[in-house]
């Protein structure tokens, strides 16, 4: 049996208006090579200047992931050649990264964050009809690279980790986290070992851009390494590519170490001082994180974790839930109404209006169908639910006699003869049809459970006669 050991390097694009070392626009989807200048395309003699706007999202990333923020941080050159890197080096941070020593709590494990550093993105290469197109718009887009310790042990944990940081970083305004646009890209470092053995040799699978690809790549690479070991072959420290269509792993290069990059402090960019006041000011601007809120809704309102997660996915819904539940003190009913009775086409109801409807629903005065109708009126047509209920006499009819007379009327109506006959012969499918007729008689206000019972009772009675 083998254990899998995984450490991640996650690149997130920072939400800024400009690139990291020049004043080109940092926006996605503009025409190819329209957002470039001599700095981000690395022309000789051009001098990069650090865009301080990057500090806010980058420092927030550190705070969100529980890191300590260094008081002075520096940029270093990482030298290598690739067609997507026109200046021949990446400006990154090796010696004094912005943030260090963080952690993220999963359900069953703590993942330690070794560091978060800032760096510039490379160009985007696109392969078409045997040609390579280089889009330099992405050159110089500010990135935060999040490096974890090798604390993860399987694909499920990795995806859980990525989902948590994606939600929290988005909520804090660090990144838009759009995997499909490359705003979040994952490198998976993976090794296997027998329990108790020292760490095995790892490989690095670069640039995965969906959680599915991450899972598949982990599964494949784990099996590949175990296969090698079982055959008595060594696992080589390599950088791998993963084809997200065919799920094939390919060797890109046999892994370099950091000394292959001849890192040195970038002489163009002075060290950056990060004042404690600045850090605290950014900390105050971070809202309650989704991961924290999910747990709080569970403990404070007794929600199931999956319902809490559904609510928190939309900040507006979670806010509405909390505000309305505080008024009505009916969190379970409120949750139900939010998840099943608010029409998608309208606005959200106010917390007070929702609390009013929750109160009616809880007291049994209205059915869930009526709750839905009232909320539809309120959110789509802007009607005050109190007035609407009053005007419509919109209270559930629970008087059995009143329901019975409607049932009898329906049963005796000759146009329903066939349906009644079918029901008597045990064709339950027509029950809904007849129940609908009864409801129409009572303008949709009959207690649906009672109406069903009275209808069934009467049909059976008649057939006994």
Q: Which residues bind Zn ion (CB under 5 A)?
A: 22, 24, 37, 39-40
Max Cα separation, the chain? 102
Q: Of ligand ADP, Zn ion, none, which one sits near residue 154, judging by CB under 5 to 8 A according to partner kind?
A: none
Interface map 251-270 toward ligand ADP (x if CB under 6 A): ------xx------------
When asked if residue 275 is in the footprint of ligand ADP (CB under 6 A), the reply is no
Q: Of Zn ion, ligand ADP, none, which one sits near residue 37, judging by CB under 5 to 8 A according to partner kind?
A: Zn ion
When asked if residue 93 is in the footprint of ligand ADP (CB under 6 A), the reply is no
Min dist. Cβ of residue 64 to ligand ADP (A): 18
Residue with Cβ nearer Zn ion (37 or 327): 37
Look up residue 337 and give its two tokens. 């109404």
Phi and psi at 246, nearest 5°, equal -95, -5
Phi and psi at 147, nearest 5°, equal -115, 120
Look up residue 358 and give its two tokens. 């929750």
Residue with Cβ nearer ligand ADP (26 or 92): 92
Q: What Å distances lie between residue 25 and 38, 246, 269, 396, CA to CA? A: 14, 35, 20, 59
Residue with Cβ nearer ligand ADP (231 or 257): 257
Residue with Cβ nearer ligand ADP (5 or 371): 5
Residue with Cβ nearer ligand ADP (121 or 145): 145
Residue with Cβ nearer ligand ADP (174 or 190): 190
When asked if residue 189 is in the footprint of ligand ADP (CB under 6 A), the reply is yes
Tally helices (H) and strands (E) across the chain.
15, 16
Min dist. Cβ of residue 140 to Zn ion (A): 5
As a whole number of Å, the end-to-end CA separation of the chain is 72
Q: Where are the alpha helices (DSSP H) in 182-314?
A: 211-230, 276-285, 290-301, 305-313
1 contacts: CB under 8 Å, gap ≥ 6:
194, 195
Classify 29 in phi/psi space as left (phi over 0), alpha (psi -120 to 50) or beta: left
Q: Of ligand ADP, Zn ion, none, which one sits near residue 22, judging by CB under 5 to 8 A according to partner kind?
A: Zn ion
Q: Where are the alpha helices (DSSP H) in 305-416?
A: 305-313, 315-328, 331-340, 351-363, 368-380, 385-391, 400-412
Q: Of Zn ion, ligand ADP, none, which one sits near residue 189, judging by CB under 5 to 8 A according to partner kind?
A: ligand ADP
363: helix, strand or coil: helix
Contacts with ligand ADP in 200-219 (CB under 6 A)?
200, 202
Min dist. Cβ of residue 143 to ligand ADP (A): 15
Q: Of ligand ADP, Zn ion, none, which one sits near residue 202, judging by CB under 5 to 8 A according to partner kind?
A: ligand ADP
Sign of the CA dihedral with 455 first, then 457, 461, and 463 last: positive
Residue with tokens 């000759």: 414
When asked if residue 149 is in the footprint of ligand ADP (CB under 6 A), the reply is yes
DSSP states of 332-346 as a string?
A: HHHHHHHHHTS-TTS
Min dist. Cβ of residue 132 to Zn ion (A): 21
Burial of 141 (0-12, 13-18, 19+ CB in 10 A): buried
Residue with Cβ nearer Zn ion (24 or 63): 24
Residue with Cβ nearer ligand ADP (228 or 395): 228
When asked if residue 199 is in the footprint of ligand ADP (CB under 6 A), the reply is yes
> Binding residues for ligand ADP, how many (CB under 6 A)?
17
Q: Which stretch binds ligand ADP (CB under 6 A): 18-26, 146-154, 160-168, 332-340?
A: 146-154
Q: What Å distances lie between residue 196 and 1, 192, 200, 219, 223, CA to CA? A: 11, 11, 11, 22, 20
Q: Which stretch binds ligand ADP (CB under 6 A): 11-19, 147-155, 315-323, 428-436?
A: 147-155
Q: What Å distances lie between residue 419 and 273, 427, 434, CA to CA? A: 81, 9, 7
What are the residues binding ligand ADP (CB under 6 A)?
A: 5-9, 147-150, 189-191, 199-200, 202, 257-258
């Amino acid at each position: 049996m083998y254990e899998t050991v995984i450490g991640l390097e996650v690149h997130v694009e920072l939400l800024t208006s400009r690139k990291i070392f020049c004043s080109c626009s940092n926006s996605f989807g503009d025409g190819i090579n329209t957002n470039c200048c001599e700095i981000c395309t690395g022309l000789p003699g051009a001098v990069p200047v650090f865009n301080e706007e990057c500090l806010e999202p980058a420092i927030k990333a550190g705070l969100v992931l529980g890191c300590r923020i260094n008081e002075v941080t520096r940029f270093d050159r990482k030298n290598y050649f690739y067609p997507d890197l026109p200046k021949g080096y990446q400006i990154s941070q090796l010696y004094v990264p912005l943030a260090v020593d963080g952690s993220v709590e999963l359900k069953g494990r703590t993942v330690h964050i070794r560091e978060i550093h800032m760096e510039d993105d490379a160009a985007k290469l696109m392969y078409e009809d045997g040609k390579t197109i280089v889009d330099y718009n992405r050159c110089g887009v500010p990135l935060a690279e999040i490096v974890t310790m090798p604390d993860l042990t399987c694909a499920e944990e990795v995806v859980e980790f990525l989902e948590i940081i994606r939600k929290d970083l988005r909520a804090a305004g660090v990144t838009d986290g759009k995997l499909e646009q490359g705003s979040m890209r994952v490198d998976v470092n993976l090794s296997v070992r027998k329990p108790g053995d020292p760490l095995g040799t790892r490989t690095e699978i670069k640039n995965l851009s969906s959680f599915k690809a991450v899972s598949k790549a982990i599964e494949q690479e784990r099996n590949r390494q175990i296969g090698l070991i079982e055959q008595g072959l060594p696992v080589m420290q390599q950088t791998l590519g993963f084809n997200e269509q065919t799920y094939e792993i390919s060797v890109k290069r046999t892994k370099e170490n950091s000394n292959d990059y001849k890192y040195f402090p970038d002489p163009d960019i002075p060290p950056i001082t990060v004042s404690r006041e600045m850090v605290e000011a950014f900390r105050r601007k971070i809202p309650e994180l989704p991961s924290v809120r999910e747990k709080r809704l569970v403990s404070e309102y007794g929600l199931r974790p999956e319902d809490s997660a559904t609510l928190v996915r939309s900040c507006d819904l979670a806010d509405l839930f909390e505000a309305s539940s505080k008024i009505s003190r009916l969190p379970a009913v409120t949750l139900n109404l939010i998840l099943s009775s608010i029409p998608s086409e309208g606005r959200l109801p106010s917390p007070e209006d929702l609390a009013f409807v929750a109160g009616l629903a809880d007291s049994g005065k209205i059915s869930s169908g009526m709750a839905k109708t009232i909320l539809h009126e309120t959110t789509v047509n802007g009607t005050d639910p109190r007035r609407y209920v009053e005007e419509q006499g919109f209270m559930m009819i629970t008087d059995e006699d009143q329901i019975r007379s409607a049932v009898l009327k329906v049963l005796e109506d000759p146009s329903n003869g066939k349906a009644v006959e079918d029901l008597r012969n045990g064709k339950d499918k027509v029950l809904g049809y007849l129940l609908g007729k009864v409801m129409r008689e009572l303008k949709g206000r009959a207690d649906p459970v009672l109406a069903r019972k009275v209808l069934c009772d009467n049909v059976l009675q008649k057939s006994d006669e």
